[in-house]
Structure 1
Amino acid sequence: MAPEKVRLTAEKATLLATLYGRALDARSPRPILDDRLAAATVERIDHDFSDTGMDQRMAGSVAIRARFLDGWAREFLARHAEATVLHLGCGLDTRAHRLDPPPSIDWYDVDYPDVIDLRRRLYPEEHRTIGTSVTDLGWLDQVPAGKPVLVIAEGLFYYLDPAEGRALVRAIVDRFPSGQFVFDALSPFGLRLQKLNKPVRKAEATMHWGMDGPADLLSISPKLRLVTAMSAFDLPGYGSLSASHRISVGLAKVVPGFRRMAAFYRLEF
Structure 2
Amino acid sequence: METTLLTGVPETMLITLWAKATETQQNGGLIEDNDAVRMMKQIDYDFSKFKKAKMSQAGSCVRASLIDKETREFIKNNPDAVVIQLGAGIDARYQRIGAPKVEHWYDLDLPEAIEVRRKLLPESERNTYIAQSLFDYSWCDTVKAHGKPILVIIEGVLMYFEPEKVREFFCEMCNRLGKATVLMDILFYSGVKHARQHDAMKKMDNDVEFKWSVLHSVEMESWHERLHLGREYFMSDHDQGRLPLVFRLLCKIPYLHTRFNQRIVRFEIN
Common topology (TM > 0.5): yes
Q: Which AA in structure 2 matches 1:130?
A: I
Once residues 174 and 57 of structure 1 are traced to their aligned partners in structure 2, the CA distance between those partners, rounded to angstroms, is 37
Moved more, 132-141 or 22-31: 132-141
Residue equivalent to 1:60: 58
Residue equivalent to 1:175: 176
Residue equivalent to 2:235: 232
- State the Cα deviation string for residues 58-95 of structure 1 (Å, max 9, x = none): 32222121111100111111111211111011111110
Deviation at 1:27, TM superposition (A): 0.9
- State the Cα deviation string for residues 178-198 of structure 1 (Å, max 9, x = none): 121111112543313433102
Residue equivalent to 2:129: 129
The structure-2 alpha-carbon separation of the partners of 1:55 and 1:209, relative to structure 1 and needing over 3 Å to count, comes to closer
5+ unaligned residues in a row in structure 1: which ranges?
none
User: Percent same amino acid at aligned positions?
Assistant: 28
2:184 and 2:264 in contact (8 A); partners too: yes
Match of 2:48 among 41, 50, 56: 50
Deviation at 1:263, TM superposition (A): 1.9
Deviation at 1:161, TM superposition (A): 2.7
Residue equivalent to 1:246: 245
The structure-2 alpha-carbon separation of the partners of 1:51 and 1:230, relative to structure 1 and needing over 3 Å to count, comes to same
Moved more, 159-168 or 88-97: 159-168
- State the Cα deviation string for residues 195-229 of structure 1 (Å, max 9, x = none): 31022223331122222313431122101111113
1:183 and 1:265 in contact (8 A); partners too: yes
Moved more, 134-143 or 8-17: 134-143
Once residues 54 and 161 of structure 1 are traced to their aligned partners in structure 2, the CA distance between those partners, rounded to angstroms, is 29
Residue equivalent to 1:194: 195
Once residues 151 and 29 of structure 1 are traced to their aligned partners in structure 2, the CA distance between those partners, rounded to angstroms, is 31
The structure-2 alpha-carbon separation of the partners of 1:101 and 1:27, relative to structure 1 and needing over 3 Å to count, comes to closer
Residue equivalent to 2:214: 211
Q: TM-score, normalised by structure 2?
A: 0.88
Paired residues, number: 262
The structure-2 alpha-carbon separation of the partners of 1:168 and 1:259, relative to structure 1 and needing over 3 Å to count, comes to closer
Once residues 211 and 53 of structure 2 are traced to their aligned partners in structure 1, the CA distance between those partners, rounded to angstroms, is 25
1:17 and 1:54 in contact (8 A); partners too: no
5+ unaligned residues in a row in structure 2: which ranges?
none
Q: Hey, which bits of structure 1, 4+ residues long, moved more than 4 A?
A: none
The structure-2 alpha-carbon separation of the partners of 1:104 and 1:231, relative to structure 1 and needing over 3 Å to count, comes to closer
The structure-2 alpha-carbon separation of the partners of 1:32 and 1:268, relative to structure 1 and needing over 3 Å to count, comes to same
1:137-176 correspondence to structure 2 within 5 Å: 137-145=137-145, 146-176=147-177
Once residues 141 and 71 of structure 2 are traced to their aligned partners in structure 1, the CA distance between those partners, rounded to angstroms, is 23
1:231 and 1:260 in contact (8 A); partners too: no
Larger helix percent? 1
The structure-2 alpha-carbon separation of the partners of 1:168 and 1:133, relative to structure 1 and needing over 3 Å to count, comes to same
Q: Which AA in structure 1 matches 2:196?
A: K
Deviation at 1:111, TM superposition (A): 0.8
1:6-85 correspondence to structure 2 within 5 Å: 6-7=3-4, 8-52=6-50, 55-56=53-54, 58-85=56-83
Once residues 51 and 132 of structure 1 are traced to their aligned partners in structure 2, the CA distance between those partners, rounded to angstroms, is 30
Q: Which AA in structure 1 matches 2:217?
A: P
CA RMSD of aligned residues (A): 2.1
